[in-house]
Amino acid sequence: MSADRSPVEADVCVIGAGPAGALVADRLADAGHDVVILDAGPRFDESDRIERMERALRPAYDRPDVWGMGGERDAHSNSGERPYPLNHARVKGIGGSTLHWQGMVMRLHEADFETRSRHGVGRDWPISYGDLRPYYAAAERELGVAGADDNPFGPPREEPFPMPAFAPSYSDGLFAEACEQLGIAMHSVPNARNSEPYDDRGACVGYGTCQPVCPSGAKYGADVHVRAAEEKGATVIDRAPVQHLDHGADSIRAAAYATPDGETHEQEADAFVLACGGVETPRLLLLSASQDYPDGLANSSGLVGSCFMDHLFAGMGGTVDEPTRQNHVGFLTSESHQFYDADAEIGPFKLEFFNYAGPSPVETALEGDEWGDALLDRLRTDYGTHVGLGALVEQLPREESYIGLDPDRTDGHGNPVPRIHWSVDDRALRTLERANEIQRAVLEEMDAEITWAVGPENTGPAYHHMGTTRMGEDPDESVVDPDLRTHDLSNCWIASSSVFPTGGAVNPTLTIAALALRTAEAVDDALRSDWLV
């Protein structure tokens, strides 16, 4: 990591040190290219993770506090029909949001790439599942995925997962009895956490605080590949938020970035890879508007920032008259893709069986005034009898949802903050209602007392930012081509969930990783081709 944060000689400048940027940087450094990574946040000391876990357990701290989110650096605004709490689930720093993610890594289904052709809604991807399939396998090896080939509804696979799946939890067994009666198939969840030692990292030791922090390092974080890239010669400059991209009519010349001491530098390179996520990537392009691109860089299509998507959450839970939290597990071990098949009216969704429903012992203790034996009696009675189910629901790409620039509010550097205009389509609302129906049926079969529900009226985001610089063949209808190179700029690629034409109903990180590996190949080919000279 550069101590003085000065620019370096570089073939490639990668902006963002999350999973996409980290994997691209590692692959390109391994190919012998000089790589520099710029990231807006700091490098976090691994030895601080126990302290961060303890902070996460204390009710006085909110999730953004655990990783230092908030303030002028991370300011944003909302203008849509539904508020979007952006900072609740993102991290700026080396490793990005994988520092606090839940770690579930599924492949998109084959149908997800053909939503328009199959159902007449959304958009088709310019690539197929078959095109991405080998990169999915490579991404599973790179991240280290524990899983089993037991999902009868999932896409075809070509090889076993790198590690065996985690065993079903105690509460999974309670759900399984009800699901068997209802004809609902359960199967394992692929997890980017070690079920056994892998890649010089130990197996999961069960802290149970995976979200927002894994103290042991068993859960994958993109800082793993940042360090690997550094070992191969890459330079990392942290706390270096990029202010704008200096460019000509068809290429980027330099990334102008600020430093904590108030200076601004320009990092030049032959190729640039934007890996800032679905919000900051379009924001950077919009901040880089010029005479050549008055509506924002790489925005001849007018789609930069447009069609912002997230997965919507549907959930329901309550209590049963028996213990549910023996051998507590802090992540999901069972799910069901049985209801993933979609049509024009009802979208795909995956059903999740929670291992961590209900309040923690600390929260339970703080709910009353008892002490001593009375408190212990209440904990034995009230704690550990909760059950809950969740679901991720697809949201269609629509121009009514977008990321723009706030005309009135600026960050600490005087730049307009991102303004989020988020709305939910009617198909997603119908799908949320359908998910709730199935969740209610399972809980009633378990004789649970239902105490909470999240559905069409009070749904919230899963914090999977997608769709704001989508890929496609037609430059008038997309921002990047199938290799994720921008249509407008010859030396700029975007490696991010922002390129997703649609989002499906599974967690996006494995697809981000697969696309990043594919992009690294494209950048490597371009650097070795005639365009450079």
The secondary element (H helix, E strand) that includes residue 22 is helix 19-30
Domain presence at residue 276: yes
Here the CATH number for the domain that contains residue 258 is 3.50.50.60
In the block, tokens 């939890």 appear at 169
Residue 2: predicted pLDDT: 46
Summarize pLDDT for 112-155 with one digit per residue, the tens.
999 999 999 999 999 999 999 999 999 999 999 999 999 999 99
- Mapped onto helix, strand or coil, the DSSP state of residue 441 is helix
Domain presence at residue 410: yes
What's the sign of the alpha-carbon dihedral 489, 495, 498, 499? positive
Domain presence at residue 432: no
Mean pLDDT of the chain: 93
pLDDT in tens, the chain (533 residues): 446 899 999 999 999 999 999 999 999 999 999 999 999 999 999 888 888 888 877 777 777 788 889 899 999 999 988 899 999 889 999 999 999 999 999 999 999 999 999 999 999 999 999 999 999 999 999 999 999 999 999 999 999 999 999 999 999 999 999 999 999 999 999 999 999 999 999 999 988 888 889 999 999 999 999 999 999 999 999 999 999 999 999 999 999 999 999 999 999 999 999 999 999 999 999 999 999 999 999 999 999 999 999 999 999 999 999 888 777 788 999 999 999 999 999 999 999 999 976 665 555 555 666 777 776 766 666 667 889 999 999 999 999 999 999 999 999 999 999 999 999 999 999 999 999 999 999 999 999 999 999 999 999 999 999 999 999 999 999 999 999 999 999 999 999 999 999 999 999 999 999 999 999 999 999 999 865 54
Domain presence at residue 409: yes
The secondary element (H helix, E strand) that includes residue 38 is strand 35-38
pTM score, whole prediction: 0.95
Summarize pLDDT for 290-345 with one digit per residue, the tens.
999 999 999 999 999 999 999 999 999 999 998 887 777 889 999 999 999 999 99
Domain presence at residue 493: yes
Q: Of 100, 464, 465, 487, which is the active-site residue?
A: 464
H-helix segments, 367-490: 372-382, 426-445
Q: Is 233 left (phi over 0), alpha (psi -120 to 50) or beta?
A: left
Domain presence at residue 154: no
Residue 96: predicted pLDDT: 95
The CA-CA-CA angle for residues 228, 232, 236, to 5°, reads 70
Residue 152 phi, psi dihedral angles, 5° rounding: -70, -10
**What are the CA-CA distances from residue 94 to residues 41, 103, 115, 519, 520 (Å)?**
7, 17, 35, 20, 19
Number of domains, the chain? 1
**Nearby residues of 504 by Cβ (< 8 Å), 6 or more positions away:** 108, 109, 112, 348, 394
The secondary element (H helix, E strand) that includes residue 387 is strand 386-393
Alpha carbon distance 493, 75 (integer Å): 26
Summarize pLDDT for 93-110 with one digit per residue, the tens.
999 999 999 999 999 999
Domain presence at residue 244: yes
* 464 noted as active-site residue: yes
Domain residues for the domain of 22 are 1-107+220-310+400-422+464-533
Domain presence at residue 155: no
